[in-house]
Every structure is written in structure tokens, then in C-alpha cells.
Structure 1
């Protein structure tokens, strides 16, 4: 499979970062629907430029489903609370579930290099997952009630999930273009 070009990777990274900030800041400023709309637009753009959008859409859907379960478990632990976007108090906020779909659009593009490195995916997940979450807390998208247990939970969850998400990205790769045989 041929992977994405450098220009596509940089575009994906920029769109991902902008949508992430929009979602977190939207939640922090009581505008979670606006932030979620930005995430949906980013995902829509990604699907439009993907070689096989249906496969990428399945990856987004699976990531959102996983995110809903994981983030609801975090909510139920009581270590984190959210300022907005949580119509049902014991379920994950919808804007946070949308961020899992946003992550999915990066798996086959900017994070593609991590596919063949499951141990590195595990380590990076354990470090960068909680770091990203803590950044969202600093921006006001969430609040730690019990920071240490929350960060420990997030580290374990992300250490396990990053290699799993990378495997799913291989299965649902709609970005890489299959090589054609000439002969």
C-alpha cells in the first residue's frame, strides 16, 4: 500500500490540531456543540480526501464506540468532571467521544508510521494520552477531581488502546492506495 504524501500528512495534522482545540475550548466555554461541529467538519474533510472513505468511516465509528465506553468508564470512576456537553451525567460528554473519531482520522495518516511498532505505540499511548488529557484540563475542557488516579487510569488505558487502535487502522485503512500490479 502506498501511504499518504507529506502534504497530506501535514494537512491532516493541522486539521486534527485545529479541531481538537475547537472541541476542548468549545466545551470549556459552554459551546460543546460548536466544537463538536468543528470535529465533524474535520472528519468530513478527511473522508472526502480519503481513497476509500467507507473504510475510514468505519474506523471513525469504531473509535467513537470504543471512546464512548472508555470515557464513560472514566466518568463513572469520578476522577474527572466536565463543564459541558454531558446531557446524561453518568455518560461521556459527546464532544469527548467525537475526539475519538478525530483521533481515528490521524491513525492512517500522521500516525501511520506507528503501525509496525506496537511497543512504541504502547509507550507513547501511556505518556501522550494522559498528557493530551491534562492539556484539555488546563484549557478548561475538563477538571480533575482526583488527578493522580485519573492520570494513572488514563496511562494504563492509553498504553493498552494505542496498539489496538493501530491494529484497527490497518484493518480499516481507507487512506493507503493498494498498489497495482503491472503485468
Structure 2
């Protein structure tokens, strides 16, 4: 048995993904809070490259599928966040700010690795409940750290975010499940070859 067996490789990928995603969240939020809203997205681009070139090989993920998943998540976020900002004056933006889009890209990096277990759960409502609870927690943390300023009606804003993430989290898990196939290992027969 080699030192770099499948379990160690996957555990290393999981740990690296978790670290990259936490660094991404704090970089985007803290830099936006300190009035550098474009530095966080720039850092996020670097983190996506690290994810693609370090985590994807360790986790045997197709890097092209990961890039498509991340870009699709950002596009989805641009539409949803801008929709909320345009139609609900309580949301403090009319067009999704770059650091918010970078946070969605950061979240998408977790979908096949540290949150990958959600793709195989036999309870499809779990991502909806997690989104309902932890979407607002994430935004609340951003508010408390100074990245987001909600001028009035904080409760309505948090309710909108809860609904947004109750819908978005299951959608993104489904997108991850359908978008990112695993890379076939060398010498491993596919189900079609075995038949």
C-alpha cells in the first residue's frame, strides 16, 4: 500500500477544499468591509485556480466540469441577487456586487468536495433546510463584520435571504450532481465496458 492511497488523497483534497473555502469567505467579506470590494473577487479567482489545479486532481474531479459549475453558480447568483435587489428595496443593492458573486463562486467550490455528501443524501429536503438556516447566518455574519449594510427592515432582508437559499441550495446541489462527473481512474472499467 502506498503512502498516497485513495483515502489519504481524498482526505487531503477535502481538507484543502475546506481551507480554501474558508479563506475565500473571509477574504471576500473582510475586504468588502474594509472598502476593498474588488480585492476579494481577485483573491477568489486565485482560490478557484488552486481548487481546480490542486483539489480536483486529489478528488478525481473533472476540472472542466468544476469550472462550468462555478461559472453557472455565479451567473445564477447574478440573476437572483440582482432580482432581489431590484424588486425589494430592503436589499442594499440593485445589481449584485462583485464580492457577493465571488462568495457564490466560493460556495460552488464546496459542492463536490466538502459538501459533496449532499449529492447522495436520501433526504432531498436536507439542502433546503440547510439553505434556510445557514444562508441567513452567512449574510448575518457579513452584516456584523461590516461587509453589508442593511439600512432598514433587517428582518425582511433576512427572510428574503432565507427563501433565496432555501431554493438555491437544492438547485446548486442538483447542478453539481448533474454537471461534474468524476474522472475515470486509469485501468478502471466503466459500467458500459463491464457489460
Give yes or no for contact 1:80–1:142 (8 Å, CA) kept in 2: no
Alignment partner, residue 3 of structure 2: none
Unaligned runs of 5+ in 1: 82-88
For 1:14 and 1:136, locate their aligned partners in 2 and report how far apart those are by CA, in whole Å. Answer: 19
TM-score, structure 2 length as denominator? Answer: 0.82
- Alignment map for 1:51-130 (pairs within 5 Å): 51-76=61-86, 77-81=88-92, 90-117=94-121, 118-130=124-136
Alignment partner, residue 21 of structure 2: 16
Alignment partner, residue 163 of structure 2: 156
TM-score, structure 1 length as denominator? Answer: 0.88
Give the aligned CA root-mean-square deviation in angstroms.
2.0
Give the C-alpha shift of residue 36 in structure 1. 1.2
Unaligned runs of 5+ in 2: 1-5
Structure with max Cα Rg: 2
2:183 paired with 1:177: yes
For 1:20 and 1:40, locate their aligned partners in 2 and report how far apart those are by CA, in whole Å. Answer: 13
Greater relative contact order (Cα 8 A, min sep 6): structure 1 or 2? 1
Report the number of matched residues: 174
SS of equivalent residue, structure 2 residue 164: helix
